[in-house]
Amino acid sequence: MVIKEIFTPDIAITWLPWAVQYFFMMGLAYASVWVATIHLFSQPKPDDRLLKLCACLMLTAGIVAPIALLADLHQPLRAWHFYAQVRPDSWMWYGAFLLPVFSGTSAVFAWLLLRQYLPKHTTNQDSDWVNKISQLLRFGDWNSDKFIKPIALITALSACSIALYTGMETMAIEARPLWHTYWLPPLMAMSALLAACGTLVILNRLLKGYQQRTQDSLLLWVRASFGLFALCLIGWALFDKGSAPEAALLLETSPSWQLAAIWVLVTLAVLALMLAIRHLPNIAMLIVSLTAIHLAWGFRWIVLIQAQTDPKYGAGTYLYQLPWGPEGLLGIAGTFGLWLALMALVSELIRHTPAAKLAR
């Protein structure tokens, strides 16, 4: 009997958990733009509460996402290299231009939606510095409503470009069969929409001014986005010729991938069963939202981190242990902490009730 022993080097992953945070936060930002734009154009009387929540999410997530991206570059100052050379064959090069455009347009769109909640005037005796800052951020007393829909369309198109770019920059890597599938961009986009809708449900509960009408609308969004994500996942499993067979091979040999598959199936089953209930109680709605967010974030972890344990060249799988420091758990917690801090700041700035609502 001849025994052949195969040695493979244990190579560290190059895309760190910062990348998961970037893709997740950016997904929340562009998906909330989609929700706001579709609602704005499809409803004769748009829900101000829903638009307010979308604006808060697109603004805060749109700020945090680029910060996480710079952290994942290992040397943040090297970002200027994307602008110092022409690389039309690189999706990252296109993203270097698409990302600032989206950050700018989404910030303007969010400001237009939130402007009505900023106070028009403050008195000299007003000692509330937050109120004074909010009044300054209003930039005068003029009617901005006519600009909302045009900016919404521009921002929605920019959001589509970001969804395409973030999916394609991963899919374009042919050396990783798990990534190299045209199903990846729609899977990333639909999971982002699912997570954004779940986050909006939670924000409707946490931020002052809860409305049941908004909650009912968001439940429809959660159901629709979950259905689209499930259809994309089924389509990938049935019709993909490269990535799906590679995943099936890993399931046969790797316990970690078997555990990941069980997690995906259980999470999908729990969501499907709960969303099948016509009228969800408040606690069940909260569980659905958290599960949806958990599914979208975990999906990105599997795609971006665990997929790197499958060697480009060689046998077996690499071992990965999540570090405790900035390149691991601390970085993940810090990103979410920054987002929560920004959300608290924005909610404090827009605590003013519009004059039109006071008159009702």
Interacting residues of 168 by C-beta distance below 8 A, sequence separation 6+: 91, 185
Find the helix or strand (DSSP H, E) in which 330 lies: helix 329-349
Query: Could you give the CA distance from residue 66 to residue 25 in angstroms, rounded to a whole number?
Result: 9
**Residues 185-242 pLDDT 10s:** 999 999 999 999 999 999 999 998 889 999 999 999 999 999 999 999 999 999 998 8
Which whole number is the average pLDDT over 312-341?
84
AA identity, residue 326: P
Domain range 17-311+324-351, its CATH number among 3.40.1440.10, 1.20.1630.10, 2.60.15.10, 1.20.59.10: 1.20.1630.10
Instruction: Please state the domain extents for the chain.
Output: 17-311+324-351
Q: What is the model's pLDDT at position 16? A: 82
Long-range contacts, 204-211 (Cβ 8 Å, 24+): 204/49, 204/53, 205/282, 205/286, 207/53, 207/56, 207/347, 208/347, 208/351, 209/49, 211/47, 211/49
**Residues 36-50 pLDDT 10s:** 999 999 988 999 999
Query: Could you give the CA distance from residue 192 to residue 301 in angstroms, rounded to a whole number?
Result: 13
Query: What's the alpha-carbon Rg for the chain, to the nearest Å?
Result: 22
**Residues 76-108 pLDDT 10s:** 666 777 788 888 888 888 988 999 999 999 999
Write the burial class of residue 253 (CB in 10 Å: 0-12 exposed, 13-18 middle, 19+ buried): exposed
Q: What is the model's pLDDT at position 77? A: 67
Contact in structure between 25 and 68 (CB atoms under 8 Å)? yes
pTM: predicted TM-score of the whole model, two decimal places: 0.91
Contact in structure between 204 and 214 (CB atoms under 8 Å)? yes
Query: Could you give the CA distance from residue 300 to residue 166 in angstroms, rounded to a whole number?
Result: 12
